[in-house]
């Protein structure tokens, strides 16, 4: 059996010593190779190869004063909507030679403020945050550090930071008006936590002003399991709802699973609508009618905005994306016996 002996990682000085050049020359080979004579570059490249030298990002940050990363704070990584958004964000940041570091907050504003401080401590050049409800400490940090920061998943042109997102009030309204147009008036609304979640609060606000709707509200954790439990609660109610409006596709998926398990036909017996348009929502049984939230386009736009701010000092304007109703098989006109 062959044993491998690990040695200390080579540094810039080791390369310079082996190549018999200055540290500054090695640095020029790495950062501006066209400024170095071909013969000198060849000697330095040979030393780099022999020592298996890999430039240290930390060392470069010290020398340049740049970490070249953006911090993003999101409630969770458990659901596809955040994964799709972050993937788009990272993809476009890389076009600017910027990296992404993600921290999760579990929807806790105090945790968010602490993790934002950690991101700043390790050199974040910008922050991307979710929504517009945050601790005062977070705003103080952003102001004190003069840190480029953008709020996403929400649109508010009067917010103190640029917002790039969609109208959550409108998303709730679109979903409800679809059910009302089909003749449904007894509607169960299943939503996530209302604590510090301005997106959910805004979607509920979008349900106001419809006197012809008799709505009951059920709060649930943002999970498929909680959606299943909500469906059981709805079925056990004294007055059966003819439709369920879920303020996220995650909850709607759980509701569909449980209704199918209980032998309740969707949409013949009850209609179900969600908000998000997750990739799997087109493949549930039946396909889920939902309000499409443009999270991929939002991710790309956010990356461009924060990158231009960091690299070129261009403070972005707010940006509003439309939300659209995607009609699938989970909703139909009210069946009257």
What DSSP string describes 102-157?
EEE-TT-HHHHHHHHHHHHHTT-S-EEEESS---HHHHHHHHHHT--EEEES---T
Residue % of the chain over a pLDDT of 70? 94
Give me the mean pLDDT over the 266-281 stretch.
96
53-57, 90-94, 119-123: the lowest-pLDDT one: 53-57
As its CATH architecture, domain 12-63 has Orthogonal Bundle (1.10)
Q: Give the tokens for residue 39.
A: 């013969």
Confidence grade of residue 33 (pLDDT, cut at 50, 70, 90): confident
Query: What per-residue confidence (pLDDT) applies to 63?
Result: 60
Q: Do domains 68-167+295-323 and 168-292 have the same CATH topology?
A: yes
> What is the structure's pLDDT at 37?
92
Provide the pLDDT for residue 79.
Answer: 85
Mean pLDDT (the chain) is 92
pLDDT of 111-126, one tens digit each?
999 999 999 999 999 9
pTM reported for the whole predicted model: 0.82
pLDDT higher than threshold 90 for residue 130: yes
- Residue 180's alpha-carbon distances to 11, 107, 136, 308, 328, in angstroms, are 68, 32, 40, 44, 16
Q: Which residues, 6 or more positions from 30, have their beta carbon under 8 angstroms from its beta carbon?
A: 55
- Of 25-34, 37-46, 172-181, 202-211, the range with the highest mean pLDDT is 172-181
Contact 128, 152 (CB under 8 A): yes
Lowest-confidence region among 2-16, 265-279, 280-294, 302-316: 2-16
Please state whether 288 falls in left (phi above 0), alpha (psi between -120 and 50) or beta: beta
Query: Any idea where the domains of the chain sit in the sequence?
Result: 12-63, 68-167+295-323, 168-292
Decide if pLDDT at 335 tops 50.
Answer: yes
Please report which confidence band the pLDDT of residue 239 belongs to, taking 50, 70 and 90 as the band edges. confident
pLDDT tier, 66 (very low <50, low <70, confident <90, very high otherwise): confident
Lowest mean pLDDT among 3-17, 24-38, 43-57: 3-17
Distance CA 288, CA 282 (A): 6
pLDDT higher than 70, residue 171: yes
Grouping H, G, I as helix, E, B as strand and the rest as coil, residue 265 is coil
The pLDDT of residue 237 is 86
Average pLDDT over residues 206-225: 93
Question: pLDDT at position 317, please?
Answer: 95
Checking if the pLDDT of 55 tops 60, the result is yes
Q: What is residue 211's predicted lDDT score, i.e. its pLDDT?
A: 84
The pLDDT score that the predictor gives to residue 2 is: 44
Query: 149 forms bridges with which residues in the sheet?
Result: 127
Q: Report how far Cα 240 is from the mean position of its chain's Cα atoms.
A: 35
Fold annotation for 68-167+295-323: Rossmann fold (3.40.50)
The CATH label, of 3.40.50.2300, 3.20.20.150, 3.40.630.10, 3.40.190.170, for the domain at 168-292 is: 3.40.50.2300
> Best-predicted range by mean pLDDT among 52-61, 66-75, 282-291?
282-291
Q: What is the pLDDT of residues 318-332, one digit of tens each?
A: 999 999 999 999 999
Quote the strand ranges of the chain, DSSP E.
Answer: 69-74, 99-104, 127-130, 149-152, 163-166, 186-191, 214-219, 243-246, 271-276, 289-292, 319-321, 324-326
Burial string for 219-232 (b: 16+ CB within 10 Å, else e) reads ebebbbebbbbbbe
The strand pair at 271-276 and 243-246 is best described as: parallel
CA angle, 203 then 204 then 209, to 5°:
110
CA angle 331, 336, 337 (to 5 degrees): 130
Helix (H, G, I), strand (E, B) or coil at 316: coil
Model pLDDT, residue 1: 40
Over residues 74-86, the mean pLDDT reads 91
Question: How far out from the chain centre does Cα 129 lie?
Answer: 9
What is the pLDDT averaged over residues 265-274? 97
- For residue 152, what pLDDT is reported? 97
């Amino acid at each position: 059996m062959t044993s491998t002996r690990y040695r200390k990682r080579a540094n810039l000085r080791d390369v310079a010593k082996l190549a018999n050049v200055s540290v500054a020359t090695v640095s020029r080979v790495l950062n501006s190779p066209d400024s170095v004579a071909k013969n000198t570059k060849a000697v330095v490249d040979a030393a780099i190869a022999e020592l298996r030298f890999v430039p240290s990002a930390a060392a470069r940050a010290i020398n340049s004063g740049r970490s070249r990363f953006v911090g993003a704070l999101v409630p969770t990584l458990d659901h596809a909507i955040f994964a799709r958004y972050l993937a788009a964000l990272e993809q476009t940041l890389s076009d600017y030679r910027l990296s992404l570091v993600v921290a999760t907050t579990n929807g806790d504003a105090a945790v968010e403020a602490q993790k934002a401080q950690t991101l700043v401590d390790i050199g974040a050049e910008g922050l991307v945050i979710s929504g517009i409800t945050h601790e005062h400490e977070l705003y103080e940090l952003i102001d004190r550090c003069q840190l480029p920061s953008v709020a996403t998943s929400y649109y508010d042109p009067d917010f103190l930071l640029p917002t790039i997102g969609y109208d959550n009030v409108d998303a709730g309204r679109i979903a409800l008006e679809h059910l009302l147009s089909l003749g449904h008036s007894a509607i169960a609304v299943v939503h996530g936590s209302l604590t510090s979640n301005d997106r959910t609060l805004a979607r509920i606000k979008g349900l106001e002003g419809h006197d012809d709707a008799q709505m009951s509200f059920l709060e649930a954790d943002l999970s498929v399991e909680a959606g299943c439990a909500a469906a059981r609660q709805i079925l056990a109610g004294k007055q059966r709802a003819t439709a369920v409006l879920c303020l996220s596709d995650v909850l709607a998926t759980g509701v569909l699973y449980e209704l199918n398990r209980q032998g309740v036909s969707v949409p013949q017996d009850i209609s179900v609508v969600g908000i998000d348009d997750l990739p799997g929502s087109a493949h549930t049984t039946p396909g889920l009618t939902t309000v499409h939230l443009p999270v991929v386009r939002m991710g790309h736009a956010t990356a461009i905005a924060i990158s231009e701010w960091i690299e070129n000092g261009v403070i972005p304007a707010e940006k509003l994306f439309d939300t659209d109703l995607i009609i699938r098989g989970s909703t139909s006109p009210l069946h009257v016996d």
